[in-house]
Amino acid sequence: MSKLALHKIVAKIRYFNYINAIDMRKSIEIEYEEYSSINELSNENRELLLQAMSAANDSYSPYSQFKVGAAVKLIDGKIVTGNNQENMAYPSGLCAERVAMFAAMAQNPNTGINAIAIVGKNKEGQWCAASPCGACRQVMGEYEKHGKKKITIILYADNDKIIILKGVDSILPFQFSM
């Protein structure tokens, strides 16, 4: 086969895949609510966020000095809080969200999570966004399946805004499951 003929075959295959990719293209839309301040939230959501703020103040974060607080509301209404726990052997610490979710589910294995509020506090002592890391999203997704109810995710965002999302799919599409 000449060099020219080989080049033609490769080009043909690419063209075929290109057509297929267009036919199969899909998109995901994420819907969320945005509030301009904590005062605009419902009493229930505000209370949960305030509990997350209170938990953040007790964070053990001497290394990053970035405090994170999480408050988990269980389906039965109980609230369990957590904050980031750091360690001088860095990977030994844990995020606020997982501290809160693991404690909540360890103490209440037969229920599920209804909502979680997450907030950060920077070195300057200002409230700020602390969007959950991938590992915490994965854990949240599994507890959502366990509880058979979409989790409401309340995130403190930049400029003191509050973002509310419904369901872990909206922050972790295509999550791992077996």
Cα R_g (the chain), whole angstroms: 22
How crowded is residue 55: how many other Cβ atoms within 10 Å of its Cβ? 26
* Residue (93 or 147) nearer to Zn ion, CB: 93
Q: Where does this chain touch Zn ion (CB under 5 A) — which range of 6-14, 73-81, 95-103, 114-122? A: 95-103
Q: Which residue is nearest to Zn ion (CB)?
A: 95
Q: Which of 113, 136, 139, 171 is in the footprint of Zn ion by CB under 5 A?
A: 136
Q: Which two tokens stand for residue 110?
A: 């037969």
133 binds Zn ion (CB under 5 A): yes
CA distance 111 to 152: 15
124 classed as catalytic: no
**Pick the catalytic residue: 97, 124, 142, 144?**
97
* Residue (11 or 133) nearer to Zn ion, CB: 133
Q: Where does this chain touch Zn ion (CB under 5 A) — which range of 31-39, 85-93, 110-118, 134-142? A: 134-142
Q: Where does this chain touch Zn ion (CB under 5 A) — which range of 7-15, 41-49, 94-102, 164-172? A: 94-102
Nearest CA among 110, 109, 60, 113 for reference residue 82: 60
The secondary structure of 49-69 as a DSSP string is: HHHHHHHHHT-B-TTT--EEE
Contact 68, 54 (CB under 8 A): no
* Residue (105 or 136) nearer to Zn ion, CB: 136
Contact 119, 52 (CB under 8 A): yes
What residues line the site for Zn ion (CB under 5 A)?
95, 133, 136
Positions annotated as catalytic residues are: 97
